[in-house]
Amino acid sequence: MRESVVDKVLECIHSPTEEGFESLALEVFAFQYRRNPAYRQFCDRRGATPAKVSSWQEIPPVPTVAFKELDLCCALPALVFLTSGTTQGQERRGRHGFPWLEIYHASLLKNFADHLLPDQIRLPMLILAPSPDLLPHSSLSHMLEMVRTAYGKEESGYFVGQGGLDLPGILQALTKAEEEGEPVCLLGTSFAFVHLLDFCQQEGQVFHLAEGSRLMDTGGFKGRSRDVPGEELYRLYYEVLGIAQDFCVNEYGMTEMGSQFYDNTLKSYTLRCQQPRYKDVPPWVRTRIIDPVTFEDLPEGRIGVLVHYDLANCGSVMAIQTEDLGYRIQEGFELIGRAQGAEARGCSLSMEELQNI
């Protein structure tokens, strides 16, 4: 029998309140301390027990590398995701088990809809990433399949196979969408989009996709491929595909987390709200930007290490210290890359491996 905290987290995701986060975070921490032996030992060494911790900021975050070394599940997992291969080899892949998939699904579906479908329309989803059949332990592939099933029109599909990006297939789908004047939602890894854009430029191929078309890219290049600055990508998305910056949303997610972060651009455009581009923090998540030496919170604009407190991680460890650098902007943050010396990894590497580059 599952404990009541699971249903409380589900309720928080469906109907979040600002004042409810603190008390629920402490309840989740107490649950994880009790049910997760490896995490309990980690907390004990820091003198942090449920009796002593009085705010969510005091909950000890585990480094992402811990998912490579320890079993951090609070119950038998229904599904286990693996991190992408690293420079140290496939055997160094992290593992994140989800005992209650309904929490993970509630978090990803609500957050995706808020940021990619704020106008509540249903679109064909053209996915430039591997399907779950190809990568069954990829959190990204699972996420994309969930949103395709929940929100995509019947003609949605994947355009990555064993041989890599299916260029003839995606070009045909884009041509059809342009001819019929139907807006589409393009989803995929940054690496796949750069591959598509490069090919179109080389061939002089330009699309003018229908108004309302949108795009979500995710993952960086992690030092393994040529890098393309964000502003150049947005320019190319418009020049090659006809999708304006306001309809281009970057997603930042981690295998070690149950929630994702999206640019606020399309959501702000729909609400007619003028804001700078930044990553929105879901109401059931808190993100700190800390000094890596003092572990103190940094003021807005100062670059530090990102630490996330995610209630959707109820079944493992809620508090995660990343190897990612960023800075706070208003109510969100902007990601700028990996801490020096951090391992190269990420969703785009899966695409790169399929391309055999």
Q: Residue 156 is part of a domain; what is its CATH number?
A: 3.40.50.980
The answer, yes or no, to whether residue 355 has pLDDT greater than 50, is no
Structure confidence at residue 84 (pLDDT): 77
- The phi-psi region of residue 89 (left if phi > 0; otherwise alpha if psi is between -120 and 50; otherwise beta) is left
**Mean of pLDDT over the chain:** 91
89 domain residue, yes or no = no
Q: How confident is the model at residue 356 (pLDDT cuts 50, 70, 90)?
A: very low
- Judge if 144 and 252 occupy the same domain: yes
- Judge if 116 and 240 occupy the same domain: yes
- Judge if 273 and 194 occupy the same domain: yes
The answer, yes or no, to whether residue 357 has pLDDT greater than 80, is no
- Judge if 276 and 289 occupy the same domain: no
166 domain residue, yes or no = yes
Taking residues 262-267, what's their average pLDDT? Answer: 98
87 domain residue, yes or no = no
Taking residues 246-274, what's their average pLDDT? Answer: 96
85 domain residue, yes or no = no
Output 250 or 92, whichever has higher pLDDT.
Answer: 250
β-bridge mates for residue 333, sequence order: 279, 328
Chain segment 324-353, per-residue pLDDT in tens: 999 999 999 999 988 765 444 444 544 444
Which of 29-33, 223-227, 236-240, 280-284 has the lowest average pLDDT?
223-227
Q: How confident is the model at residue 185 (pLDDT cuts 50, 70, 90)?
A: very high
- Judge if 139 and 172 occupy the same domain: yes
129 domain residue, yes or no = yes
Q: How confident is the model at residue 256 (pLDDT cuts 50, 70, 90)?
A: very high
- Residue 65 amino acid letter: V
- Judge if 250 and 308 occupy the same domain: no
99 domain residue, yes or no = no
Chain segment 211-236, per-residue pLDDT in tens: 999 999 998 654 345 577 788 899 99
- Judge if 54 and 140 occupy the same domain: no
Cβ contact 98:79 at 8 Å = yes
CA 272 – CA 319 distance, rounded (Å): 34
61 domain residue, yes or no = yes
- Judge if 292 and 308 occupy the same domain: yes
- Judge if 139 and 237 occupy the same domain: yes
Q: How confident is the model at residue 19 (pLDDT cuts 50, 70, 90)?
A: confident
Which range of residues forms the domain containing residue 313? 4-79+284-329
Output 243 or 336, whichever has higher pLDDT.
Answer: 243
Structure confidence at residue 222 (pLDDT): 46
The answer, yes or no, to whether residue 63 has pLDDT greater than 90, is yes
192 domain residue, yes or no = yes
Structure confidence at residue 226 (pLDDT): 58
Structure confidence at residue 1 (pLDDT): 56
Cβ contact 215:249 at 8 Å = yes
Q: Report percent pLDDT > 70 for the chain.
A: 90
The set of residues, in sequence order, having a beta carbon less than 8 Å from that of 36 and lying 6+ positions away, is: 72, 73, 74, 316, 317
- Judge if 309 and 179 occupy the same domain: no
- Of the candidates 255, 266, 249, the one whose C-alpha atom is nearest the C-alpha of residue 308 is 255
- Judge if 131 and 16 occupy the same domain: no
- Judge if 173 and 35 occupy the same domain: no
CA 99 – CA 242 distance, rounded (Å): 42
State the total domains in the chain: 2
Structure confidence at residue 112 (pLDDT): 98
Structure confidence at residue 260 (pLDDT): 98
Structure confidence at residue 65 (pLDDT): 92
